[in-house]
Amino acid sequence: MYKRIKGTLDIWGDDIWYWYKIEKTAREVSMRYGYEEIRTPVIEPTELFVRSVGEETDIVQKEMYTFEDRGGRSITLRPEGTAPVVRAFLENAMINKGFPQRFFYIGPMFRYEKPQLGRMRQFHQFGFELIGSSSPLADVEIISMVNRFLKSLGLYRFKIVLNSIGCPKCRVNYRNALKNYYSEHYDELCDDCKRRYNTNILRLLDCKVDVELAEKAPKSVDYLCDECKKHYETVKRYLKIVGIDFEEEHKLVRGLDYYTRTVFEVRHELLGAQDSLGGGGRYDRLFEDMGGPQIPALGFASGIERIILAMKEEKVRVERENPHEVYFAVLGRKAYEKAFKLAEEIRNAGINVDMDVMERNLRGQLKHADRVSSYISLILGENELNRNIVIMRDMETGYQIEIDLDYVVEYVIDKVKKEH
């Protein structure tokens, strides 16, 4: 027997309703703010992620699914959604449509991580990107959307944490301050941090090992240039105006290299170690880094699997549809001919009909109707057909009546729509 690849999930059964709810809400909230969907390929040139996500990030260092295709090209299963959107934007000359442009995406991402609860090798993200605005108002729009998305899902026990990591200009001073600070503690650092000390000092702040050192490290907000400071203050002021709670977190730098200025993350109270529901920030230099013009932008991405864990923790109820509203039990060749026609007519009215295709006996068929929780069963045998009636059985109460075959469609529509 074949087994699924480690770190992947089959999504089915009861969980499907959570996916529907999240995907539907994601689309609705996106539209509400003027965002349009974009679907990019799952495979991209490896170089795209190396350039954008950053050579020194965990993703590029050890998590990418990279392989050579038959034509000798290096290909990577996308580990995140922003770089592909930027690539698509530049490649399709979307710049010609003017600014701002707003996109959302939903789809699978791939990272070779150590699988655990809330951490998968194939996981799914809903994300959105706002391209073309350097204004702090754009930051506020994105954070408002995140907040509305999670609240619309019925989630409350999350918090939004915020930081500003400045622009390349002010980051020089900040980097130096960090270098000074960490040089005094160099021997205490974990091996990863020792390496990152030289290659990407900001990363030391989100090390899971050297947490205490990071806690006391210099804060990026104390090193912001005037423009970055003003930007950050405006974001905070507007968030208060629109009534969005947030906490400032100076250790927040996020795991991708392309961020500038505002970075933020959503954490859920009940999720333990993998408590990040999503994160985002500004990436004002990414377009340039990828060979395009200078275009300011920002975005956010959330992990759907983690959102489902959070919804379950918060005991959020999700709507379920019954694909077996009506069960059609049939006996005899002539009756099947009539039943097939009737079932289509009931379906035309928007009602879900599950019809016997096993040619079982009546007991077997009704047992099936019970198992799949049909609201009603229609029973049609040769005898009923000759009398021009069908038997309607209410599966909850066991109540049965005979209905004239000419009125059965109207009857079923009325009963199912009224009672369910």
Is residue 120 part of the contact set for ligand AMP (CB under 6 A)?
Answer: yes
Query: What mask, x for binding ligand AMP by CB under 6 A, covers residues 222 to 261?
Result: ---------------------------------x------
Q: Which residues are paired to 299 by β-bridges?
A: 129, 281
Least distance between ligand AMP and beta carbon 275 (Å): 9
Is residue 132 part of the contact set for ligand AMP (CB under 6 A)?
Answer: no
Q: Which is nearer to ligand AMP, 104 or 327 (CB)?
A: 104
Is residue 271 part of the contact set for ligand AMP (CB under 6 A)?
Answer: no
Helix (H, G, I), strand (E, B) or coil at 411: helix
Which residues, 6 or more positions from 149, have their beta carbon under 8 angstroms from its beta carbon?
25, 26, 29, 126, 302
Sites for ligand AMP among residues 295-334 (CB under 6 A): 301-303, 305-306
Least distance between ligand AMP and beta carbon 100 (Å): 22
Q: Which residues are paired to 43 by β-bridges?
A: 77
Is residue 279 part of the contact set for ligand AMP (CB under 6 A)?
Answer: yes
Q: Which is nearer to ligand AMP, 173 or 274 (CB)?
A: 274
Q: What is the DSSP letter of 60?
A: I
Least distance between ligand AMP and beta carbon 248 (Å): 19
**Interface pick for ligand AMP out of 278, 335, 390, 392 (rule CB under 6 A):** 278
Is residue 264 part of the contact set for ligand AMP (CB under 6 A)?
Answer: no
Q: Closest CB to ligand AMP belongs to which residue?
A: 303
DSSP string, 97-125: G-S-EEEEEEEEEE-----BTTB-SEEEE
Q: Is the Cβ–Cβ distance between 358 and 329 less than 8 Å?
A: no
| Separation CA 362–CA 379 (nearest Å) | 8
Residue owning tokens 């290096």: 74
**What count of Cα atoms within 13 Å lies in the side-chain half-sphere of residue 36?**
4
**Interface pick for ligand AMP out of 15, 23, 56, 113 (rule CB under 6 A):** 113
**Interface pick for ligand AMP out of 193, 277, 339, 343 (rule CB under 6 A):** 277
| Separation CA 286–CA 278 (nearest Å) | 20
CA 284 to each of CA 110, 256, 290, 310: distance values in angstroms, whole numbers, following the listed order: 25, 13, 12, 31
Residue owning tokens 């974990």: 190
Is residue 119 part of the contact set for ligand AMP (CB under 6 A)?
Answer: yes
Structure tokens that stand for 371 in this block: 């198992």
CA 52 to each of CA 82, 126, 236, 285, 344: distance values in angstroms, whole numbers, following the listed order: 9, 19, 28, 10, 53
> How far apart, in Å, do the first and last CA atoms of the chain sit?
41
**Interface pick for ligand AMP out of 276, 365, 374, 377 (rule CB under 6 A):** 276
Is residue 123 part of the contact set for ligand AMP (CB under 6 A)?
Answer: yes
| Separation CA 31–CA 187 (nearest Å) | 51
Tell me which stretch binds ligand AMP (CB under 6 A): 117-125, 136-144, 174-182, 347-355.
Answer: 117-125
Q: What is the DSSP letter of 315?
A: T
Sites for ligand AMP among residues 70-99 (CB under 6 A): 80
Q: Which is nearer to ligand AMP, 208 or 363 (CB)?
A: 208
Tell me which stretch binds ligand AMP (CB under 6 A): 118-126, 137-145, 201-209, 343-351.
Answer: 118-126
Q: Which is nearer to ligand AMP, 164 or 276 (CB)?
A: 276
Q: Which is nearer to ligand AMP, 104 or 223 (CB)?
A: 104
Q: Which is nearer to ligand AMP, 268 or 393 (CB)?
A: 268
Q: What is the DSSP letter of 218?
A: P
Q: Which is nearer to ligand AMP, 35 or 158 (CB)?
A: 158
Q: What are phi and psi of 142, to 5 degrees?
A: -60, -45
Structure tokens that stand for 372 in this block: 């799949």
Binding site residues, ligand AMP, CB under 6 A:
80, 111, 113, 118-120, 123, 125, 255, 276-279, 301-303, 305-306
